Structure 1
């Protein structure tokens, strides 16, 4: 770790899966953890909790705003959240409003002053790369590494990450290498300002398989004046969102990234997987991933989708709330909201409750898996993985292979025929 105020301690392991605590100054976060993506500003003003429709409702859950969340406190659904500098201008704001947002750090606004969770500020690399910067109603701002870090510092998060240049599946080889080089240069520029940062610093790497990840790490090491663990507190694996539905790619990327980290002596650093959540999480945790971030809980709710489990969703008007054990579905206030049985309801509040449920389902599975790892029973972990994918043909062969190769052999060789 780069600073005595930042540490990552592993408490339990089962195969490659592990549970730990990320400590940043006076805030701690248990891993594995899912960072729900939150838009703190969303084009609004402080009096409306910075607006943003359903984004506002999510923030009301996060800060426990009773008129919207009811009598129970649901702020514990948000022990750590992800935001992005590129989201600042999502609502076509003016340059004057952007400067106003950046005038105070997030927790310096009264609206967010009681939020004690960990804030991870992404550099917004993908959107900035495609748009060329940040664009509002009356401005266009080019963003480079220094400008990205200036914005992150203005937001005052707990976790920072360098501005990256994500690769795309359609990129030619030369384009991938050039993007990796640009990311490596940004990592160096970021490291040169390390003393300005009061928090954890994560390094972005890119690649779908071993050769790409090896090249990504090599380029970064060549740029840095010091070993990676002397400068960075964690690794963030990017470029996977376009391949999020390809289980084989996700498995190979995370597995090979962990292997590269181990071979280079970085195995003590936490590994964050950018933009991935949902049904892949248990499998990726079993491969050694420590955290994830995603807005899928929110986007699915916007589309009227209610999670039954990590693999299935149904239209919210077909949901069986009695079959769900999450706190949202067992709260009459939110059941009525999701059934649209309250007068004068805003759509943001109906779908906000659905989004909170979707998030609770994902977190429930991570908690369940975390406890199995803590208990140290590898057979129980193997059984959980098997049960979680028994009806998911695309996942089964990867789970069986993982258990046989990374944990105490559990399945007979013939079991792989179920794939």
Structure 2
């Protein structure tokens, strides 16, 4: 993997870059649709390509449990298995194991946990996480880390940071020449000094990129931005920075201004299935009765397949009738919104208008909120 910075904003820390991988180039800042189980829910790889998605995320934990990384490896790797020829980033499974707090036991070697599928017991540690990602053939692999809940005691977070560093070092020793990139994950909860400590220790190990993990676990947006600001000065400017599992469109705009290059979140796809749609004038709750006879496209400023062909009235009908097509059309639009938002952000940075774009973004998002609440 190669990362080059093509333009730095003079207004903020935002920058435009290019990630080059074995499966293609990625323009940054970038949003990565989440394909947890080798599938971005409700849409096909061809539809993702049409939307302009340049990279997707898949999950080590879920693919290890089902169908199994060995099987995927035997069938030619994850790209071939899911018919996606563009880059793939795989999470290490640390966050998923964290979410199983009642079903796991953490030790210096790794984590013993019970499967959420059938209750069977498994072990996942740094070496196993690397083995799985190597079998999948990821373009970007993540180190195995320990995520902590929010709130958490300082000493507990400190212990997790120390384990995360040791595990990251063990992951690094398993990386083979010619494989995909390996990113280190900065932990430290909501404590600025621990975030700085984690960042310094990981940088000393020399990864291809760095991620901020352990966020979007219940903290407010102000706290989240403070964590990014605390860690950013200790991470190398010449390496890509990935904010994991975050977030809302506003989160993306703010984090780009702080120098973040990569994002992923289930929000566009999950909200699509729940009937909440993102538009250029704010969120639309498509189940609301006011859309029952609304013949306008969902977003007149969007050129996605859904907005080109279907009315708000039809989308509401599908959603209220629980027709499967509702999930597909809603997901296509929400992903288009996120991908287009990142495209507009890149244009704003290049034109030295990021702060003006940020102001316009908030003004436009307020238009629809009161009516649709």
Report the TM-score when normalising by structure 2.
Answer: 0.82
How much has 1:347 moved relative to structure 2? 3.5
How much has 1:32 moved relative to structure 2? 0.2
1:268, 1:220 → 2: CA distance? 15
Structure 2 match to 1:242 = 217
1:160, 1:85 → 2: CA distance? 9
How much has 1:392 moved relative to structure 2? 7.7
> Where do 5+ consecutive residues of structure 2 fail to align?
105-112, 367-373
My pick for the range that moved more, 205-214 or 18-27, is 205-214
Q: 1:184 to 1:200 in 2, by over 3 A?
A: same
CA contact (8 A) 2:272 2:331 kept: yes
CA contact (8 A) 1:276 1:294 kept: yes
Q: Going by fraction, where is helix more abundant, 1 or 2?
A: 1
Q: 1:184 to 1:122 in 2, by over 3 A?
A: same
Q: Secondary structure at the match of 2:15?
A: strand
- Alignment size in residue pairs: 342
Name which of 7, 10, 26 aligns with 1:12. 7
How much has 1:177 moved relative to structure 2? 0.8
- The C-alpha deviation readout for 1:181-231, integer Å capped at 9, x for no partner, is 11111111011112266111100002335312122134446xxxxx333xx
1:341, 1:351 → 2: CA distance? 9
CA contact (8 A) 1:36 1:295 kept: yes
Q: 1:310 to 1:291 in 2, by over 3 A?
A: farther
Matched, 1:364 2:364: no
2:244, 2:275 → 1: CA distance? 25
How much has 1:81 moved relative to structure 2? 0.6
Q: 1:191 to 1:334 in 2, by over 3 A?
A: farther
Structure 1 match to 2:362 = 389
What is the correspondence of 1:95-106 to structure 2 with a 5 Å cutoff? 99-104=70-75, 105-106=77-78
Name which of 1, 20, 23 aligns with 2:20. 23
> How big is the alpha-carbon RMSD for the aligned residues of Structure 1 and Structure 2?
2.9
> Where do 5+ consecutive residues of structure 1 fail to align?
1-5, 43-53, 65-72, 222-226, 394-419
1:322, 1:76 → 2: CA distance? 16
1:216, 1:97 → 2: CA distance? 32
How much has 1:334 moved relative to structure 2? 8.7
How much has 1:353 moved relative to structure 2? 1.3
Q: 1:32 to 1:148 in 2, by over 3 A?
A: same
1:391, 1:332 → 2: CA distance? 24
How much has 1:291 moved relative to structure 2? 0.8
Name which of 313, 328, 336 aligns with 2:284. 313
Matched, 1:303 2:274: yes
CA contact (8 A) 1:243 1:250 kept: no
CA contact (8 A) 2:38 2:78 kept: no
Matched, 1:174 2:144: no
Structure 2 match to 1:276 = 246
Structure 1 match to 2:264 = 293
Matched, 1:328 2:305: yes
1:200, 1:167 → 2: CA distance? 25
How much has 1:22 moved relative to structure 2? 0.6
Q: Secondary structure at the match of 2:237?
A: coil
Q: Secondary structure at the match of 1:306?
A: strand
2:138, 2:50 → 1: CA distance? 18
